[in-house]
Amino acid sequence: MKTNEALLNKNESRKNSIINHEEIGDNHILTSMDTPMKSTAFLISDEEKKKRIAFHFTEIMDTLGLDLNDDSLQGTPDRVAKMFIEEIFSGLDPKNKPKIALFDNKYQYDQMLVEKNISFYSNCEHHFVPIIGKAHVAYISSGKVIGLSKLNRVVQYYAKRPQVQERLTNQIAKDLQEALDTEDVAVIIDAKHLCVSSRGIKDDTSATVTAFYGGVFKQHKKIVELQNFINS
């Protein structure tokens, strides 16, 4: 009797866990400001990671019933492994963080600078399907300025990891605040999530917008000014 009761409790617990995971995935819950990483994440080399990913992706393809002897599929596990490490999840590795050089604001430009429509591709951490969007980044110099391309690179760095859009927005903003030594940073992200458009509700027309306003950008007049810049 006790064995049956324990089994029922275990099955109920597993059922509740599955339901909870589904709710988290569908409700877009943010678990932390930092990307959840194991402390041992960088104890193995990129080449070893590629080998492990290729092995496991081979198992996934085999489980799906795909013929890995087919000429078109033979190299897929290796291609996926290389893509994961060198491209779409390269932002997980701190060694790929862009080096930011600052320059004196010799023009004495004291108004907002806006880099808008920065295209990026990320991946939803709940289903590992693409997030496709544009980021708008603004800051007001505290005496130093950053090369324009570095704004794009910071966006790409944080986008190239399993993400939640709210976290992506905050990570970009916080990094720029620290690098530029100013609170006066704003980030707006407008993106489409394929976990919404290609599965689940399958809504192909909706988009998600998130924003971070720091320092003077918390003022209504600055938000309006920023919106005018973006929409011009």
The DSSP line for 117-151 is: EEEEEEEETTT--EEEEEEEEEE--SSEEE-HHHH
> Domain limits at 49?
43-88
State the Cα–Cα distance between residues 226 and 220, nearest whole angstrom.
10
* Together in a domain, 135 and 177: yes
φ/ψ of 178, rounded to 5, equals -70, -45
Residue type, 43: L
C-alpha distances (whole Å) from 8 to each of 15, 16, 21, 159 are 10, 12, 20, 42
pTM above 0.85, yes or no: yes
In CATH, what number is assigned to the domain containing residue 65? Answer: 1.10.286.10
Q: Is the dihedral of CA 155, 161, 165, 168 positive or negative?
A: negative
State the Cα–Cα distance between residues 212 and 136, nearest whole angstrom.
10
* Together in a domain, 64 and 118: no
* Together in a domain, 198 and 109: yes
In which element (H, E) is residue 51 found?
A: helix 46-63
* Together in a domain, 107 and 204: yes
**Which residue is listed with tokens 């100013």?**
182
Contacts of 180 (CB under 8 A, 6+ apart): 102, 139, 141, 142, 144, 146
Catalytically annotated residues: 124-127, 165, 193, 195
pLDDT in tens, the chain (232 residues): 545 565 555 556 555 555 565 655 566 566 678 999 999 999 999 999 999 999 999 999 999 999 999 999 999 999 999 999 999 999 999 999 999 999 999 999 999 999 999 999 999 999 999 999 999 999 999 999 999 999 999 999 999 999 999 999 999 999 999 999 999 999 999 999 998 888 878 888 889 999 999 999 999 999 999 999 999 8
* Together in a domain, 108 and 153: yes
* Together in a domain, 148 and 224: yes
Quick one: pLDDT at residue 196?
A: 83
* Together in a domain, 217 and 128: yes
- Bridge-based pairing state of the strands 113-124 and 162-163: parallel
Residue 104 three-state SS: strand
User: From the CB of residue 164, how many other CB atoms can be counted at a distance below 10 Å?
Assistant: 21
* Together in a domain, 165 and 75: no
C-alpha distances (whole Å) from 33 to each of 154, 163, 184, 190, 212 are 16, 11, 20, 19, 13
Domain boundary residue, one of 58, 88, 118: 88
In which element (H, E) is residue 115 found?
A: strand 113-124
Task: Report how many domains make up the chain.
Answer: 2
